[in-house]
Amino acid sequence: MHIAIVGAGIAGTATAYELACDGHAVTVFEQRAAAAEEASFANAGLLAPAPLIPWATPGIGGPAGQRLFGRRAAVRLASGAGASDLRWLWQRRRAARTAGDDAVTALARFGSYSQARMHQVAEALQLDPESSRGVLVLLRSPSDLERIEPAVRILRETGADLRDVDADTARLIEPGLASDNELAGAIHVPDGESGNCRLFAQMLRYAAQERGAQFLFNARVASLRGGPAAVLLAGEREPRRFDAVVVCAGLAAGELLRPAGTPLPLAGVHGYTISAPLREDTHAPQGTVIDPVHRITLTRQGQRVRVAGGAELGAADGALHAPTLQVLYNAASGWFPGGVQWSSPQVRTWRGARPMLPDGLPAIGAVGGAGLWVNAGHGACGWALACGSARAVADLVAQRVPEADLQPFAPQRF
């Protein structure tokens, strides 16, 4: 089959690789000049366990009725936020009440499947995307556990290895943790994992190209058609026909698929990251550390540390929110003093959108007319779910039954 893929982020490159491995002719259309230039560019990098990723699902991180306005707002409304963003927030609150444990369970199981598939791909291709092992969730007080209790409980029910450790053991696992910070204990996930999402996406792109896939950059898809499947590029008069089209276009997926009759209520929940080089290895994170109170992650990526957090709705006209960045700086220097070179010219800040559906789960499956498929809306878990969702889509296209249960991710659930 000749299959088109729209989007060359982590979901699109992983899908291209899986389909090319199955022997299909693959053409990837990407509106940017390179792969992984948007949501996959400088994200947190936390790969597993998926339910512990901040903002993964609405039922984790705090009560559904969190404040939306003021300095202590859980989700900041930036300039450009409108009625559609408020409607999405209402849908997310409703999902927190109705989806509950079902969404977290689906995320836990699919995240485990996806991590296993990523390891298979990485081992087959001998790839190392600056990965690090081990996740430590810091608990300043016993009450902090309440914020992530559904994730912890369900991960344990599904067989994940989560260990309760005291403060002294936490500091043995992460020797760089400040000794004067209040710490009641932690949850240690030895099999937790992080890495450089953009680097892995680029590696997958090259691997897909070696198997015959073509990548067309600076190619914006204006519209889609199903039965037969076709792609119309901006600036072209005639659509290009394919046997199937897989939409992995992040936020753009909603607009592209609306004419097909499958509404996807996607929103760009923007987050921030700061990436900085190491100053002293033993004073920096060795794996990943999560601060559940502020929903901040600190991940080790080779010779760098990446600090991630924040949640904003609205375009903000490209402006960076200084108070949010300051919270990230404070968290990194407070938990790991002396570990990072903050004065280095290599320090990079980034604001990027997490293309998210209200329940936090992606949309994976057939949509609209014959030959149209979607693999989008992974939200905060794009890196964590990419390899699993790509393999599942490849199985669906080949009319095979995927190993993972895709019912919770049906695009028609909204």
Q: Which residues pair with 89 in a beta bridge?
A: none
Whole-angstrom Cα distance, residue 39 to residue 81? 19
pLDDT of amino acid 62: 62
Tally helices (H) and strands (E) across the chain.
Answer: 9, 19
Tell me which residue of 287, 269, 50 sits closest to 148, measured CA to CA.
50
pLDDT at 73: 56
CATH for the 2-413 domain, from 3.50.50.60, 3.40.50.2300, 3.40.50.720, 3.40.50.150: 3.50.50.60
Give the pLDDT band of residue 64 (cuts 50, 70, 90).
very low
Instruction: Give me the torsion for CA of 188, 192, 197, 202, rounded to 10°.
Output: 150
DSSP assignment string, 15-74: HHHHHHHTT-EEEEEESSSSSS-STTSS---EEE-GGGSTTSSTTSSS-TT---SSTT-S
Query: Per-residue pLDDT tens for 304-316?
Result: 999 999 999 987 7
Q: What is the mean pLDDT of residues 62-74?
A: 53
The yes-or-no verdict on residue 99 having pLDDT over 80 is no
Each domain of the chain, given as residue ranges in start order, spans 2-413
pLDDT in tens, 205-229: 999 999 999 999 999 999 998 889 9
Q: What pLDDT, on the 0 to 100 scale, is given for residue 222?
A: 96
Strand boundaries in 87-210, DSSP class E: 132-139, 163-165, 185-194
- Alpha-carbon distance 199 to 297, whole Å? 19
Give the pLDDT band (50/70/90) at residue 97: confident
Q: Is the pTM of the predicted complex or chain greater than 0.75? A: yes
pLDDT for 72: 53
Give the confidence band of 71 by pLDDT, cuts at 50, 70, 90. low
pLDDT digits 0-9 by tens, 373-398: 999 999 999 999 999 999 999 999 99
